[in-house]
Amino acid sequence: MFKKKLIVLSSPSGGGKSTLANYLMTLYPEIRFSVSCTTRKIREGEVHGKDYFFLTKEEFEEKVANGEFAEYEQIFGNYYGTLKSEIKKHLNSGNSILFDVDVKGAVSLRRNFPDDTLLLFIYPPSFEELQRRLEKRSTESPEELYTRLERAKEELEYKELFDHSILNDVLQTAFNDLEEVIKENLS
């Protein structure tokens, strides 16, 4: 169905990639969501195996040592990564896979699957709006919020490495822009 089988949405924290990923999955239910692994604590409403595979630091590091990740990174004191086995499972069954990962993870996926990866960068209208969104969700301590904002400055510089950039200011417009890009990727 899709020319590129790995559809990667990436943005700084608070950029809106999860909202856009959920929208895309309602439009294209045949797309499978790539469930990443993390060592961070589970948040209210999250489900192991659906939102993330929640691992201990030791379990994660063992998988790293065994070369099981297509991409991984330590962010904000926690590990995040995508298992090669999960990607291969979906590709072998003919499914397209949707990723909701940080910018470095997106670049790593492109490096590992260069012919199959479509990179989409989601960005906020301003840094101030990004900060407002992070503060509004109230999931981080002030120290964690500061760290996320500092990292966001770096992540925004990755925009040029992506195939498409989508401004997430007015949500419906961002939905429409995302849908147009995905339609271009249909075979």
Query: Do 9 and 181 form a contact (C-beta atoms < 8 A)?
Result: no
Q: Give residue 75's pLDDT band: very low, low, confident or very high (50, 70, 90).
A: confident
What pLDDT is recorded for position 131? 87
- Of 86, 85, 82, 116, nearest in space to 102 by CA: 82
Helix or strand holding residue 155 (H, E) = helix 142-155
Tokens matching residue 105: 């993870």
The pLDDT score that the predictor gives to residue 51 is 87
Residue 179 pLDDT more than 90? yes
- Residues of the domain holding 14: 6-184
Residue 16 corresponds to which tokens in the numbers above? Answer: 């809106």
Tell me, yes or no, whether 57 lies in a domain: yes
pLDDT in tens, 55-64: 999 999 999 9
Whether residue 34 is contained in a domain is answered as yes
* Residue 56 maps to a domain: yes
Q: Would you say residue 1 lies in a domain?
A: no
Separation between Cα atoms, residue 142 and residue 139, nearest integer Å: 10
Mean pLDDT over each residue of the chain, to the nearest integer: 91
Q: Looking at the domain assignment, is residue 65 inside a domain?
A: yes
Is position 165 within any domain?
yes
pLDDT in tens, 15-25: 889 899 999 99
The pTM of this model reads 0.86
Q: Residue 187: is its pLDDT beyond 80?
A: no
Question: Looking at residue 125, which CATH number applies to its domain?
Answer: 3.40.50.300
Domain count, the chain: 1
